[in-house]
């Protein structure tokens, strides 16, 4: 697994990429490059997910709040690092499985509660 620096470096490059205009090789307001053409229905980003933010606005916020952007880039690895500090009283494997299941159900559009 790449170290935290790799994730933070990629996050910074993504912010730079989002800041480019679509004519300069960046992405359109639907987060698609010109060369990629139109996305299929299931591939499109839900417009409510970003609360109407454009790619350049996302880039501005990532540049304005680099520590929060870095935390978002490294955050998923923190669950992986928890295994190194496992306590017998904390069922880390069960927690990771529960989070994975919740993510998969959410991604499939299924309700997360019974």
Please report the pLDDT score of residue 64 as a whole number. 94
In this structure, are residues 26 and 17 in contact, taking their beta carbons and an 8 Å threshold? yes
Q: Where are the domains of the chain?
A: 4-107
In this structure, are residues 18 and 62 in contact, taking their beta carbons and an 8 Å threshold? yes
For residues 40 and 16, which has the higher predicted lDDT (pLDDT)?
A: 16
| Per-range mean pLDDT, top range of 63-67, 94-98, 106-110 | 63-67
Q: What is the pLDDT of residues 17-27, one digit of tens each?
A: 999 888 887 88
Question: Smallest Cα–Cα separation from 68: which of 17, 8, 13?
Answer: 8
Please report the pLDDT score of residue 59 as a whole number. 92
Cα separation of 2 and 89, whole Å?
29
* Local confidence band at 40 (pLDDT 50, 70, 90 cut-offs): confident
pTM here?
0.61
């Amino acid at each position: 697994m790449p170290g935290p620096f790799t994730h933070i470096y990629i996050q910074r490059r993504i912010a730079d990429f989002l800041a480019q205009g679509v004519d300069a090789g960046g992405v359109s307001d639907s987060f698609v490059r010109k060369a990629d053409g139109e996305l299929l229905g299931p591939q499109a980003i839900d417009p409510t997910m970003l609360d109407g933010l454009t790619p350049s606005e996302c880039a501005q916020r990532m540049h304005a709040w680099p520590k929060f952007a870095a935390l978002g880039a490294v955050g998923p690895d923190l669950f992986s690092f928890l295994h190194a500090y496992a306590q017998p009283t904390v069922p880390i494997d069960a927690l990771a499985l529960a989070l994975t299941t919740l993510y998969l159900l959410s991604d499939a559009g299924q309700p997360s509660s019974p």
